[in-house]
Structure 1
């Protein structure tokens, strides 16, 4: 599970990341990434922070919660690979409801590599 300090919680953080960050998408997800400023006094975590947006378009509550759990698990494995000063918002698209965890992981890592946030990782896509 994704530890609490590595989660985006405030609406302002989500908005800043979505509006000011770089964006890239794949079939089942869209990723927004923003490098935090060193002067951001409200951020005390020494690591990346991840936020999830799973709308009703993905499916009923049971499906949305399953998709969110999968993404939280994937993000927990990326804490050491993503730069510490980065906020990442993952927006699940409707296809994520039927995609396997492996496929979602592959798509997320692909996007993060394209955004130069997983440069040192050696997993081929």
Structure 2
């Protein structure tokens, strides 16, 4: 199981990584990677929704109500966002049992490789139909090759 801090959970995050990230495909899977530098460039553009920044809106509201500055205090050490991972295993892979088996294998493989990802990286691993018949070793080789290609 991946720790909660390392999971992609929102549909918008999956969509952003798939649309804006770099992609590398292999016979059994496709990986999409969006680094924090690329995400910062995307978020610097015009905002499409005021609700997407609830934390800063809350900060502005509380700062305006008590007369304090809206600039949060900064610590001496910058905090780095953890890498986040999401999985897409469609019905093309197989029935529910097969899809969950593939998901568990991929989750286990990615968990061992989280340290290889730069901090703040978002990763989406999409399983293809041949992943249903693959063993963990071949999925691991495909994952390593795809990550190596997309992160260089």
Instruction: Compute the TM-score of the two structures, normalised by the length of structure 1.
Output: 0.85
Distance 1:105 1:46 in 2: 25
Q: Please tell me whether residue 62 in structure 1 is matched to residue 97 in structure 2.
A: yes
Q: CA deviation at 1:19?
A: 0.4
Per residue, is there more strand in 1 or in 2?
1
Unaligned 5+ segments in structure 2 are 44-52, 56-78
CA contact (8 A) 1:23 1:31 kept: yes
Larger radius of gyration: 2
Distance 1:38 1:47 in 2: 15
Hey, which bits of structure 1, 4+ residues long, moved more than 4 A? Answer: 38-42
Unaligned 5+ segments in structure 1 are 118-125
**The one of 95, 99, 108 aligned to 1:73:** 108
Question: What is residue 35 of structure 1 aligned with on the other side?
Answer: 35
What is the RMSD of the two structures over their aligned residues, measured on CA atoms? 2.0
Q: In the comparison of the two structures, how many residue pairs are matched?
A: 116
Q: 1:1-125 counterparts in 2 under 5 A?
A: 1-36=1-36, 37=39, 46-116=81-151
Q: Which has the higher contact order (CA 8 A, sep 6+)?
A: 2
Instruction: Compute the TM-score of the two structures, normalised by the length of structure 2.
Output: 0.70
